[in-house]
Structure 1
Amino acid sequence: MLHVRPRQLLLLARLDAHRHLGRAAEAMNISQPAATKLLQQLEDSLGEKLFERLARGMEPTPYGEILIRYARRVLSDFGTAREEMLALRSGLSGALRVGSVPGAVPELLAPALVEYHRRHPQVAVSVVVETSDVIQAQLEQGDVDLVLGRLTDGHDEAKYASVPLLGESQVVVVRIAHPVFERPTVTLAEMANWSWVLQPPGSPQRGRFEAAMREAGIQTRLDIIETASPIAITALLESSDMAAVMPASQASHYARLGVLRTVPVELPVRVPPICLITREDRALSPAAAQFRRQLLGGG
């Protein structure tokens, strides 16, 4: 079993930066013979040469380049852990930027943020509520720290860590006094003639809703207003006989407020679970790392 000492990892990082054993040793505040011994011990344990000794310095071999990448990742993770420990000791501060789909807000995001803010009042929290494709683009650009949503097509899944947190059905909602509740039953085919408020194309919910209508043999062109804004959706529904599709927990939230009501019809729309999504290649800030732990049940 390979045992690599922390000082050897640090030496690899310094050698990569300076490409000179003497300067790497100086940066570590050790003697050059001590640095030579550390490197020799590591090469002996691996059975591979990690650096080529040149007249004016050193160059990593292909094996050395692999281990340098590993060393930098370990040292970066250790530095992040150290920052988080110091932050927890002194009280978290800084900023937390969360991107979320609307369906994650009532049951998942809102309760978590209330508890997080109670524990860490010095952290400045901002929330963006959008469709999955929009907030995943913001995560890619670094505009948010983490996302509660779904991985969408066109993104390299290997670049993201994704943990499922919330799976639920989709339902049709309308205003409380909608005339549909005066009828004994209603079918999906009849609802195709209604006017709808739907999320823009590209969102998982919109694509699956339209696919479900096609699979049900409904070819009617839908009358649609497109928006991802929850407040726009609820305002349009309250002011008309339009209908919308939303997760069951979000519909329950509006029902408790006396704003919307779920139509008693089975909607054959299955969307993937809402996931906690972060970038694999980007370390979270202490504030974001703590919120991630809380969402995953780690305190």
Structure 2
Amino acid sequence: MKIDSEHLEILAVIVERGGLTEGAEALGKSQPSVSRSMSLLEERIGFPLFEPGRRPLRPTELGMNLARLGSRIRAANQEASQLVRLYRQGLAGRLRVGGTPIFMDGVVSTFVAEFQSRYGDVQIDQSYGYRDTLETGLRNGGLDLAILPMHPGQVPQDMTFEPLLAGNNVIACRAGHPLSRTRGITLSDIAEYAWIAPPANSPLYRDLERAVRSIGQEDFRVNFSGGTLASIQSVLVGSDALTILPYSVVFLSRRTVPLEALPLKIDHPDRQLGVLRMADRRGPPAVGQFAEFLGTEFSRLQARMDHEQQVTRRRG
């Protein structure tokens, strides 16, 4: 025997509110339609739902048990409706996000934490990769969006790229490094220090080569390479080594890691950090919500960094 679940929900509200009229009002239905629904349910089960002649209405034992089931069905339907509403608004769902390791760990993870503190029903599955791997993940449906530095001319025709942050690298060192107290740093001042190199297949490694050439140093000594951001930071803090990092990474890392950016101009990469997506596949609504959130947070970060650099120039 199949029972209409809507009839059980109506029964639950009638029992909860204590009468047909009250139940109909709570449901936004007419009293006759609610009464017909209960008659159909009684006909279907073959037993009365309410004790005859009792006012206010008093459910039979079977009617009460069916009302309990109806309450559970009603609660489940309300939960399902809420889930669909949140999903449509981009406030629930699952996002698969890939990105370059240094930026993901040094910058984006901070914003992911803030995003999930506001939108706790959005699950984010993060993975790492560089340009070729991330583009492949987008095309085969393994990723909903990718966060990476790119030159506008590198954007594939089947994808869109939303810039978030201009390229701005700095020479980073530990707080209190001898060079941080040196005015007018020269090539000879830098020559004695070893370098920490990012992974050889990363864009940041090529930035390191270009940066040291831009300050006149053709050869440089590497004493640590290929590590994660956490290991690079640990080696920096525990030694006098130097490295190249995005200024945004140094700026945000200083809250927990004692790093400094040397006041030395180097060539900046002709790239922008941004969000890469398939042009014809927008993904779940939460993708747009997350991308919009990142745009706002990166704008605020850029303003904070610009302000600090202006203050630093005035002091210098």
TM-score range for the pair, normalised by the shorter chain length: 0.5 to 0.7
Structure 1 residue 282, shift from structure 2 partner: 3.2
Deviation per residue, 1:198-234 (Å, 9 max, x gap): 2223433322331243355432143253235211111
Structure 1 residue 292, shift from structure 2 partner: 2.3
Tell me the equivalent position of 2:103.
103
Seen in structure 2, the aligned counterparts of structure 1 residues 155 and 144 have a Cα distance that, compared at 3 Å, is same
Tell me the equivalent position of 1:165.
164
**TM-score when normalising by structure 2:** 0.56
Deviation per residue, 1:242-263 (Å, 9 max, x gap): 1111121211222333521122
**TM-score when normalising by structure 1:** 0.59
Between the aligned partners of 1:153 and 1:89, the Cα distance in structure 2 is: 31
Between the aligned partners of 2:84 and 2:213, the Cα distance in structure 1 is: 53
Range that drifts further, 270-279 or 199-208: 199-208
1:180 touches 1:186 (CA, 8 Å); kept in 2? Answer: yes
1:204 touches 1:271 (CA, 8 Å); kept in 2? Answer: no
Seen in structure 2, the aligned counterparts of structure 1 residues 270 and 150 have a Cα distance that, compared at 3 Å, is closer
Tell me the equivalent position of 1:5.
none
Deviation per residue, 1:90-149 (Å, 9 max, x gap): 8843311222333366666623x3443244322222333555555445434543321221
Between the aligned partners of 1:177 and 1:207, the Cα distance in structure 2 is: 27
Higher gyration radius (CA): 2
Seen in structure 2, the aligned counterparts of structure 1 residues 129 and 236 have a Cα distance that, compared at 3 Å, is farther
Q: How does 1:37-56 map to 2 (within 5 A)?
A: none
Q: What amino acid is the match of 1:103?
A: F
Structure 1 residue 170, shift from structure 2 partner: 0.9
1:195 touches 1:224 (CA, 8 Å); kept in 2? Answer: yes
Structure 1 residue 162, shift from structure 2 partner: 0.3
Q: What fraction of aligned residue pairs are identical, expressed as a percent? A: 24
Q: How does 1:187-226 map to 2 (within 5 A)?
A: 187-188=186-187, 190-226=189-225
Tell me the equivalent position of 1:256.
255
Q: CA RMSD in A?
A: 3.4
Structure 1 residue 185, shift from structure 2 partner: 3.8
Between the aligned partners of 1:134 and 1:103, the Cα distance in structure 2 is: 16
Q: How does 1:129-144 map to 2 (within 5 A)?
A: 129=128, 131-132=130-131, 134-144=133-143
Q: How does 1:142-181 map to 2 (within 5 A)?
A: 142-151=141-150, 157-181=156-180
How many aligned residue pairs are there? 213
Q: How does 1:41-80 map to 2 (within 5 A)?
A: none
Structure 1 residue 161, shift from structure 2 partner: 0.5
Seen in structure 2, the aligned counterparts of structure 1 residues 193 and 212 have a Cα distance that, compared at 3 Å, is same
- Uncovered stretches (5+) of structure 2, i.e. residues with no partner: 1-82, 297-316
Tell me the equivalent position of 1:128.
127
1:237 touches 1:243 (CA, 8 Å); kept in 2? Answer: yes
SS of the counterpart of 1:274? strand
Between the aligned partners of 2:257 and 2:84, the Cα distance in structure 1 is: 45
2:90 touches 2:287 (CA, 8 Å); kept in 1? Answer: no
Seen in structure 2, the aligned counterparts of structure 1 residues 254 and 294 have a Cα distance that, compared at 3 Å, is closer
